[in-house]
A and B are shown apart, each in its own frame.
Chain A
Amino acid sequence: MSRGLRLADWASRLVVYPLLVFLFLAPTLWMIFGSLRPDSETYQYLFPFGWHTLVPIEWTLDHYRTIFALTESRRPTNFGKHFLNSAYVASGIILLSLLVNTLAAYFFARLRFPGKRWLMLFVLATLVIPSEATIVPLYMVVRDLGIQNSFAGLIIPWYASPFVVFALTQFMREQISYELDEAAMIDGAGLWTVLWRVLVPNIIPGLVTVSLLEFQVVWNMFYWPLVVIADRDLQLLQVVIGGTVGPNSLPRGRTFAGASLATVPVVLVFLLLQRYYVQGVASTGVKG
Chain B
Amino acid sequence: MAQRFDAAGATPAANLLSRVFTWRRRQLIVAFLFVLPALINFLTFRYIPIFEAAYASVFEYSLLGGFGDFIGLAHYERMLTDPVLWRAFQSTVMFVVYKVPLQIVLALALALYLSRQTVGTAIVRSAILTPMVTSLIIVSIIWAMIYHSQNGLIQSILLSLGLPKVAFLSDVNNAMPAVAAMMIWKDIGFSFIIFVAGLKGIPEMYYEAAIVDGANRWQSFRHITLPLLRPIMMFVIVTQTIFSFQVFVPIYQMTQGGPLDSTKVIVYYIYQMGFRFQEMGYASALSIVTLVVLLTVSWLQMRVLKVDE
Contact = CB atoms under 8 A, between A and B. Distances in A.
Nearest to B120: A17
A285 B194 contact: yes
Interface in A99-139: 100-101, 103-104, 106-108, 111-114, 119, 122-123, 126, 128-139
B4 to A, nearest CB: 11
Given A126-B42, A185-B1, A281 B50 contact: no
Given A133-B266, A238-B138, A282-B194, A140 B242 contact: no
Given A160-B41, A186-B1, A20 B127 contact: yes
Given A49-B160, A140-B56, A266 B133 contact: yes
A25 interface: yes
Interface stretch (B15-23, B73-81, B82-90, B148-156): B148-156
Nearest to B30: A191
B131 interface: yes
Given A141-B49, A191-B34, A259-B141, A122 B39 contact: yes
B235 to A, nearest CB: 6
B124 A20 contact: yes
Nearest to A261: B138
B53 A136 contact: yes
Given A46-B151, A138-B49, A140-B53, A130 B127 contact: no
B277 to A, nearest CB: 12
A263 to B, nearest CB: 5
Contacts of A220: 133-137
6 contacts: A133-B267, A191-B30, A222-B137, A255-B145, A278-B193, A283-B197
Interface of B: 1-2, 27-28, 30-32, 34-35, 37-39, 41-42, 44-50, 52-53, 56, 63, 110, 113, 118, 120, 123-124, 126-146, 148, 150-153, 155-157, 159-160, 169-170, 185, 187, 190, 193-194, 196-197, 235, 239, 242-243, 245-246, 248-249, 252-256, 266-267, 270-271, 273-275, 280, 283-284, 286-287, 290-291, 294-295, 298
